Structure 1
Amino acid sequence: MSEIDWGKGKYEPTAADLLPAARQLVDAARIKPGEHVVDVGAGTGNVALLAADLGARVTAVEPAARLREVIEETAAGRDLVVVDGTAESIPLTDGSADVILSNFAVIFAADPAAAIAELSRVAAPSSRILLTSWLPGVMGKLVGIVVGAVRELSDGRNPAAGAIDWHDPKALSELFGPHGYEVSATTLELGIVTASAEEYWETRIANHPLGVATFPLLQQAGRLDEIRARFLEALTSDHADPSGEIHIPAQYLLATATR
């Protein structure tokens, strides 16, 4: 799904869900005032804004034009520059970043090896690179209901972005190792809460860039109602409290690469 236009639909509700993970990521980076921090796949700017508030010089790298505008509107007087780019193509000079961060973003790179090579190129010799990725579990199960159906309809021509296990420290070590990095990792949990299963479907799936990209195909095939029913059943059976409120405990990996 690397071809998703993340500026389509409404990514903001998902970005709000991911804010606690952004705080964990920034805290783990131990950012010092004046350091140059690069946020790759910045989205609405969760990480970039937090880093700037610590006194860092921040470059937010984001391919979606609408999301770049969102960051710029929020940046106010912060030392924060927003640029067009991807994990595989960062418009910065060699060795110019003290810290590189990516919150559930580089994991969508179409070419993981090229993405890590590019992050390594931009990173200063004594820099650190931190990223988050989902562990197998609830998020994969839920998103897989939609993505799996899309793959069936496209004869498997839409493989998951980044054909590696981003949640596996060994796989990350194999990616970062050739560039002189050692990888350490910790498992954390993100709690996501919505008022109902229907609200989650509408705000995090149907109007999410993933939904905007895939729903026309599901609708054309006459499968959208079926997929919606399966998704809501999975949410309510496993994650609803007696009031119908949804509580999703989503585990993720926070990995740190240093050299």
Structure 2
Amino acid sequence: MNEMLSTIWCASDYTPTAHRLERVVPQLADRIRSLVPASGTPHLVDIGAGHGELAQLLCDSGYQVTAIEPAFRMRETAAARGIARQATWSDAVGEATGLETGSVEGIVSNFGAFMCRVPEGPAEWARILKPGAPLVFSAWDNTGFLSDMTDRMLAVSGGEAPHLHWREHVHERLGEAFTQVQVDRYEMPWEFDSVEAAIEENETGSPVHAFMMLALGERAGELREALRTCFSEYVDPSTGRVRGTAAYLIVQALRAAA
């Protein structure tokens, strides 16, 4: 599983996407800090740590952080930029962290944990969390620009996108192992200078899109045209900019008592 995830998430540079997602990092950090005071250096786990922006902020706030990131390119980028050097980096996955049962005082994730398989992911999170410890993660919603774009892509490639449906299935997916489940919906701008700039960024700065292009081979042109059609529908005629709004969630819950 690690090898496949690394293949997908190393298919291109992640930096442009990471920059877009950085705006959610303070929200997640504020949530976890309100639930787990930093006194005593509590142990937090960042699932899908990416380039380490969230892990860095948590380390700076006084937490002991384990950064779970299976994609070697992500870890190498974080190391090269000196991000979250205080964290303990792991090439494990969110469904099998390798951490001790009941050893973690909080799990947090910026668009990483929501991609984990169900039920394996939530079962692993419940296993490593102490009773009463919080789980806080961001996830895409199945409304808005990114959801529309994903639907257009899947119409070409086939398949489904279960990671876009946390809002509807959160209680089912987290199950009885979690309590006090809360889901809050937010929006962020998702814009590009032009249609062609949008296509270029998605091919060179979004690993999932780059991987899909490679996987489709001779049919990659179909995907590119589907994206061009989608982006064209979001063009502001007065500026030529692609102007979308990405809807996202912050999911919060507590590990139920054993």
TM range, normalised to the smaller chain? 0.7 to 0.9
1:24-63 CA-partner distances (Å, limit 9, x unpaired): 1121222532221111011111221121121211111011
Residue 58 in structure 1 maps to residue 65 in structure 2: yes
In 1, Cα distance between equivalents of 2:155 and 2:204: 16
In 2, Cα distance between equivalents of 1:47 and 1:240: 33
Q: Report how far residue 199 of structure 1 moved.
A: 1.6
Q: Does the aligned pair in 1 maintain the 2:134–2:252 contact within 8 Å? A: yes
Local SS of the residue matching 1:9 = coil
Task: Write the letter of the residue equivalent to 1:16.
Answer: H
CA RMSD of the aligned region, Å? 2.3
In 2, Cα distance between equivalents of 1:205 and 1:100: 31
Moved more, 187-196 or 248-257: 187-196
1:39-188 equivalence runs, <5 A: 39-75=46-82, 78-109=85-116, 111-137=117-143, 138-151=145-158, 158-160=159-161, 165-168=165-168, 171-188=169-186
1:91-111 CA-partner distances (Å, limit 9, x unpaired): 2111222110122222222x3
Q: Does the aligned pair in 1 maintain the 2:13–2:204 contact within 8 Å? A: no
Match of 1:9 in 2: 12
In 1, Cα distance between equivalents of 2:251 and 2:205: 30
In 1, Cα distance between equivalents of 2:23 and 2:221: 32
Task: Write the letter of the residue equivalent to 1:199.
Answer: A
In 1, Cα distance between equivalents of 2:228 and 2:77: 30
Match of 1:213 in 2: 211
Aligned equivalent of 2:231, options 230, 235, 250: 235
Moved more, 29-38 or 182-191: 29-38
Task: Write the letter of the residue equivalent to 1:243.
Answer: T
Local SS of the residue matching 2:98 = coil
Q: Does the aligned pair in 2 maintain the 1:21–1:103 contact within 8 Å? A: yes
In 2, Cα distance between equivalents of 1:72 and 1:25: 22
Flag structure 2 segments of 5+ consecutive residues without an equivalent: none
Local SS of the residue matching 1:238 = coil
Aligned equivalent of 2:250, options 248, 254, 258: 254
In 2, Cα distance between equivalents of 1:52 and 1:115: 24
In 2, Cα distance between equivalents of 1:53 and 1:114: 31
Residue 24 in structure 1 maps to residue 27 in structure 2: yes
Percent identity for Structure 1 against Structure 2 = 26
Moved more, 81-90 or 50-59: 50-59
In 1, Cα distance between equivalents of 2:178 and 2:148: 34
Flag structure 1 segments of 5+ consecutive residues without an equivalent: 152-157
Local SS of the residue matching 1:243 = coil
In 1, Cα distance between equivalents of 2:157 and 2:107: 33
1:190-201 equivalence runs, <5 A: 190-201=188-199
Instruction: Identify if the C-alpha distance between structure 1 residues 41 and 215 changes in structure 2 by more than 3 Å, giving closer, same or farther.
Output: same
